[in-house]
Amino acid sequence: FNFTASTTNASPVSTCSTVVNISTSAVASISQEYPTYTILGQSQYQTCYPSSGFGVITPADSNTEGTALATTAYPTEKPNAMVPTRTVQRHSSGDASTSPSLSRATASKELDEQARKNIPGKNRGKRKADTSSSQDSELERVFLWDLDETIIIFHSLLTGSYAQKYGKDPTLVIGSGLSMEEMIFEVADTHLFFNDLEECDQVHIEDVASDDNGQDLSNYNFSTDGFSGSGSNANHSSSVGVQGGVDWMRKLAFRYRRVREIYDKYKTNVGGLLSPQKREALQRLRTDIEVLTDSWLETALKSLLLIQSRKNCVNILITTTQLVPALAKVLLYGLGEVFPIENIYSATKIGKESCFERIVSRFGKKVTYVVIGDGRDEEVAAKQHNMPFWRITNHADLVSLHQALELDFL
């Protein structure tokens, strides 16, 4: 079958399985650059899975899909503060390039990966293997998702590029992006120890688990244990020992363990972390963003939920946002149930290609990997690992992805 997306920028996902012809001009240009590399959505699906023995997958029930955004049903109220008051030195929670017009500096993917400080000793070759369940051995396809501008629209809200591309009111678009960014860092700082962990970033939630002695944390006081994640922070005592030392690593592991507990507890009810006013503001903000982005997240969720409904498939998230704010972002956008915390990776420190290597090591080489994203970095990483890549640049690409999944081409 030859398959193409519609030319409309925003349309609800159709459950129709109509297959139409596609122009070969895009395929020709891509073939010149990557003669042995397949980009999905622009070539025949059969070439990606020549020997697939998969049965036909029933499309996800529309009622199930429609309830995905309703993980927390809150009253609506416009948030009071539109512009965050955080310092400009804080790394952005976005995944993409910089924008000098923002009040908060937003590092590019490449520079962010190079500039991120490596805390001595924090990985020391003792990292536990990434969490895997007994179902991993039954997996046949692993879908590797980018986050920003693929599943959600976030960074292009901050820069105003989305407003320019789709003719939206830039004031509303940028204001919504700034409000969401403020909320992301508020949750990360208040509930997920980002003030402590910003300079102790990890790729995966289990990376320092081997330093955890299993101590009961029920009555543990994190605010008085003297832990300091930054050597330049004069507000914390350094009496806990040298960064990278046994005691320091143990306290670091305690924080990541608590982060995991909080994520697991609130992944389907992020409103439980927020005050009533913030809950209302979040629901209103998510609704506003969906309207401004013509239901981008809802469209992407249709594919995510369809993949999730298959017993032999799994969704994995790889983002260049630091791990802790990435977790806050996933929770606030209502994606916690789609992505268990063990299936979330941050490429800030090591880049996406190295993240892909870790994931292949976890799931093995017998499964088929499909990379879904908008950026050059995940495309190059997919090429290096000979993984098919599905490019997302507009709503139509999301629609065609869902249709391909419905037809069991993916």
The whole-angstrom separation of Cα 89 and Cα 281 is: 26
Tokens linked to 408: 């069991």
The catalytic residue positions are 146, 148
Cβ(158)–Cβ(179) below 8 Å: no
For 144, residues 6+ apart whose C-beta sits below 8 A from its C-beta are 316, 318, 356, 359, 369, 370, 371, 372, 373, 378, 382, 387
The C-alpha atoms of residue 236 and residue 222 are separated, in whole angstroms, by 12
148 is an annotated ligand-binding site residue: yes
Element (H, E) at 185: helix 170-191
Q: Half-sphere exposure (CA, 13 Å, Cβ side) for 268?
A: 4
Q: Name the H helices within 243-295.
A: 246-266, 276-292
C-alpha angle 280/77/69, rounded to 5°? 50
On whether 225 is known to bind a ligand per the annotation, the reply is no
Of 298, 316, 294, 318, residue with least CA distance to 307: 316
User: Does the annotation place 146 within a ligand binding site?
Assistant: yes
Q: What is the Cα–Cα distance from 246 to 190, expressed in whole angstroms?
A: 26
Residues making up the binding site: 146, 148, 374
Q: Which residues are documented as binding site for Mg(2+)?
A: 146, 148, 374
